[in-house]
Structure 1
């Protein structure tokens, strides 16, 4: 009888692999980043940890044994969700792994824009001693967190250390810790005029695609800063560029873009009031450990006992 098979498309430390092997000692575990290592095992893998582009042909064929995919990312918009749902394949995300590093990036961008750190770095490169109009403070300002999930909750908690008023937007509108006022997505336009900082932490779904455009930027304060660490397609980029050029908003901290890498001819590169990071806000030395210990292993134990993972199980109707 053939053993059950788990494919992991990452290079894991020995101690992490040992934790997995202890749970499924009789399984065949294929592990490695190189496609050549796991390509021939996709058709009979029961579980895949780490979805890669191009897997559809082998994983979703009529004779596939695939029952569960654990992603290595929080976002699942790049996966063939309709096909997975049609085949009743479980999908679990890495949501939660990024809460600490991304919330740190959010506040790094907010503080840098507020206290002109990015400007002073440029001045330093030119050996220029210049005040550069420094005057803003972040304490006791209002931040709107658009998407109060795991990352949004951590950001809200940090905001309270700065004495900030926190407005939250979430599909359900349910109250959340450290959030002073909660709103539904339909109330977004009511929230934007109140904010000194607008922070987007949303996943990309049919409902969030192109959620921010000219109308939304027009509702924001001219002194407000816009931070996006969600997905680039949530924002109509040309409208954001226009808002920055016209002074409709004060500046932006951007980790994600409609096209990645960001084209070299994008006006965003040259803007003094914009900070760009290359989709790295979730990067951390603890990434693999958190995916394995906080998500995959608890899910694997639950899968073995009840045939269904439970942590971060994606609702296909919502897209996250």
Structure 2
């Protein structure tokens, strides 16, 4: 019986050929995530992507499904417990976003540092004005929560601006381009040193509401908060309170507890806040990078039965 790979995302003909070349003996079929063919999925050993309404078909006892490669870095919306019970291998798209998201992070940082967000608002009103508060990044400290692919790329770029870099991770282990890495338990001490606090964290039981009123109260007065990780890692009311009190001078936000952000939400009217619509990871290189990750892992899977890149630890939820 021919083994089957089904991809629920569009791929170019060249990308399809790369997968077929890496998996002799397998068929590759593209499916529509919005109207998936359940009969086709029922025969798949490997799924690329995921969609609503396919779980009951793919997770039945007799399903041949062995491996799911997600199209995103986040996995919180997947039926993780059922995957774990079935022994299904799960790999995510971590690493795909490092370049576009780090560019957005520095877009926020540079806008705040040079008051470009204010200049854009002034332009709309044809107002020629500067309050003389423009600064620069040399000697500033970036505290980066999460030292994975996005955090590491952000730290590398920060070094080009002669910034100091302080990382936060579960282990506190040293990582290239970070002057120091502290543990999550030391988050309050770390944020007190930062001019820019950058949240790149996934959502897990440990990170949910991690940035709360206690943590914001530990921020350096007049610092900036940037969140491109997950909205639920941050208590929005505590964030707004910190912005209103001046504890935070500004915030660059790509993710929110509720998405889309409601039209009547107070964050929209805060001039010290820059909002993007959860688009920081969007890039025209996205599919190519997912295929890179998948084909690398596919070689290891065919050789040993286990993908080599981005294998999710169900206990850690990433």
Q: What interval of TM-score do these two structures reach, taking the shorter chain for normalisation?
A: over 0.9
Structure 1 length normalisation: TM-score?
0.96
- Is residue 2:285 matched to residue 1:297? no
Count of residue pairs the alignment pairs up: 318
The equivalent residue for 1:5 is: 4
Q: What does the per-residue CA deviation read over 1:37-89, in whole Å, with 9 as the maximum and x for residues that have no partner?
A: 54332222111101123321111112221100000111111111111111110
- Matches of 1:37 and 1:86 in 2, distance apart? 24
The equivalent residue for 1:312 is: 310
- Matches of 1:66 and 1:34 in 2, distance apart? 17
Partner SS state of residue 250, structure 1? strand
The equivalent residue for 1:31 is: 30
Q: CA deviation at 1:115?
A: 1.1
Where do residues 151-170 of structure 1 align in structure 2 (5 Å cutoff)? Answer: 151-170=150-169
Q: CA deviation at 1:34?
A: 4.6
Asked if 1 retains the 8 angstrom alpha-carbon contact of 2:204 and 2:317, the reply is yes
- Matches of 2:62 and 2:6 in 1, distance apart? 17
- Matches of 2:76 and 2:68 in 1, distance apart? 14
Partner SS state of residue 165, structure 2? strand
Asked if 1 retains the 8 angstrom alpha-carbon contact of 2:73 and 2:92, the reply is yes
- Matches of 1:170 and 1:103 in 2, distance apart? 18
The equivalent residue for 1:92 is: 91
Q: CA deviation at 1:121?
A: 1.0
- Matches of 1:180 and 1:282 in 2, distance apart? 26
The equivalent residue for 2:54 is: 55
- Matches of 2:306 and 2:280 in 1, distance apart? 31
- Matches of 1:304 and 1:113 in 2, distance apart? 48
The equivalent residue for 1:218 is: 217
Asked if 2 retains the 8 angstrom alpha-carbon contact of 1:255 and 1:281, the reply is yes
Provide the aligned C-alpha RMSD in A: 1.3
The equivalent residue for 1:131 is: 130
- Matches of 1:75 and 1:145 in 2, distance apart? 18
Partner SS state of residue 239, structure 1? helix
Where do residues 44-193 of structure 1 align in structure 2 (5 Å cutoff)? Answer: 44-193=43-192
Q: Give unpaired runs (5+ residues) of structure 2.
A: none
Partner SS state of residue 199, structure 1? strand
- Matches of 2:111 and 2:4 in 1, distance apart? 47
Q: CA deviation at 1:286?
A: 0.8
Q: Give unpaired runs (5+ residues) of structure 1.
A: none
- Matches of 1:119 and 1:263 in 2, distance apart? 23
Q: CA deviation at 1:36?
A: 3.1
Q: What does the per-residue CA deviation read over 1:89-117, in whole Å, with 9 as the maximum and x for residues that have no partner?
A: 00001000111111111111011112111
Asked if 2 retains the 8 angstrom alpha-carbon contact of 1:119 and 1:132, the reply is no
- Matches of 1:90 and 1:114 in 2, distance apart? 44
